[in-house]
Amino acid sequence: MNTIIYIFPELFLSFSIMALLMVGVFFKKSFKLVNSLTIISLIFAIALVLNQHNETIKIFNGSYIIDIFSTLMKTITLLFSIFVLFSSREYLKINNIEKIEYPILILSSILGMILMISSYDLIIFYLGLELQSLSLYILASFNRENEKSTEAGLKYFVLSALATGLLLYGSSLIYGFTGSTNFEIISKNLDPNDIGAVFGIVFIIIGLAFKVSAVPFHMWTPDVYEGAPTSVTSFFALIPKIAAITVFIRFMYVPFLNVIDQWQIIIVFISIASMILGGTAAIGQKNIKRLMAYSSIGHMGYALAGLAPGTNSGIQSTIIYLIIYLVMNLGAFGCIFMMRRENTFYENIDDLSGLSKNHPLLALSFLVILFSLAGIPPLAGFFAKFYIFMSVIESQMYALAIIGLVTTVISAFYYLRIIKIIYFDKPKKPFEVNYNLGLKISLILSSILVLIYFVYPSILIDLVSSIKII
């Protein structure tokens, strides 16, 4: 009975999915009802997560952990999912994809992510991963009428299945060489000289790198971001990243901390490659969703740079970076949702031409968010990168810090190009202004948070500083 108390959020989400499916089946044209109930379920799940004890608790023979780290990650997963659902309502309506399956699939993928966040065992982690992935496959190809969406779903399915297979192979190697799937027992039994176990770690890193869309396992990202409906793209760009980075931290620093010499160089390579590709490949992009895809690859490179040093401060800087990245991306996709004329959504960067003349407030929000993504002081994005570089320099990894700084300058170029188009190019026909309330709230909130972060940075720092993995 005591165990069940600790998994109330997970149980509640499971029952919610089943209940919402029944509501959707028994009531015709019940999308609005199901969507609203999904948001209420997520709010209630946040309350259940925050109600849990602050001390570290391990249940199911140490295979499931509830601690400050998991509580924080679950909360931001659920919170940003609410904002994504709010901001995409109008888009679903106009594109005629208001199907009850949409919020239910999002809910089931969130359940998978929450299982991944608290997993302390390879089997529990795999269970969560599959639950998340199966939902995301369908979401990517949700707009079946659209050829690009179907293609996106297929590409994501094939490549994700390959990555999951490699991850599973790596997990079986680890189990074979350590005799356990539990993280703590793996840590005790792992021999640094065991070449088979090292291979297992490499395969696991490949699988995880795919999930965070890090180079060289990023191939799916631009196509899926462009092809999937924008509402799904915003979900892809925000929510799965939280679970993936959490698992990255858990994997690297609990079972494999003793063999840091074996995997550190791989994380450094993936980080550098992601930063370089994210900074250069985005320059020639015409489609804003493809640009956001390359931008997310670059940002994941910076997040992984914080994990390379193998210190608590590095982990904390990665968590801060992730939270700020989520806020910035929420705002960016809020702006993309507003690119609408006569019930048609536009995705070309050139469509933003002269936006400042027709929609000065929207242009200002976009300006703030793009400057923040570029890392311009005193905006939140600058501080996010500053914390990462500080933790890297503290560990004397100067080459990583220098490459990070250079790629920041390169990536600033394509963000500034969008700002130039918005403020200095000839205005096009104005966008529609009858946006829904959820979208307005998401955009205003993210713009304000990005702007005023430097006034109270201590709130986020104090929250994250209590997380100690090592």
Cα→Cα distances 362→234, 262, 335, 444, Å: 18, 48, 7, 9
pLDDT (0 to 100) of residue 29: 81
> Do 143 and 88 touch, CB atoms closer than 8 A?
no
pLDDT (0 to 100) of residue 203: 93
Q: Measured between alpha carbons, how far is 423 from 421 in angstroms, rounded to an integer?
A: 6
Beta carbons within 8 Å of 173's beta carbon, 6+ residues apart: 196, 197, 199, 200, 203
Q: Residue 297: which domain range?
A: 2-465
Beta bridge partners of 65: 58
- Asked if residue 287 is part of any domain, the answer here is yes
**If we measure between CA atoms, which residue out of 127, 213, 200, 207 comes closest to residue 170?**
200
Q: What tokens appear for 85 in the block?
A: 């659902």
Q: How many domains are there within the chain?
A: 1
pLDDT (0 to 100) of residue 132: 92
Q: Measured between alpha carbons, how far is 171 from 166 in angstroms, rounded to an integer?
A: 9
- Asked if residue 182 is part of any domain, the answer here is yes
Q: Measured between alpha carbons, how far is 355 from 370 in angstroms, rounded to an integer?
A: 14
Q: Is the dihedral of CA 91, 97, 100, 104 positive or negative?
A: negative
Q: Is the dihedral of CA 48, 54, 60, 64 positive or negative?
A: positive
Helix H or strand E segment including 433: none
- Asked if residue 298 is part of any domain, the answer here is yes
**Model pLDDT for residues 436-453, shown as the tens digit of each residue:** 788 888 888 999 999 989
pLDDT (0 to 100) of residue 87: 85
Kind of pairing, strands 344-345 and 57-59? Answer: unpaired
- Asked if residue 470 is part of any domain, the answer here is no
Spans of the chain below 70 pLDDT: 1, 434
- Asked if residue 379 is part of any domain, the answer here is yes
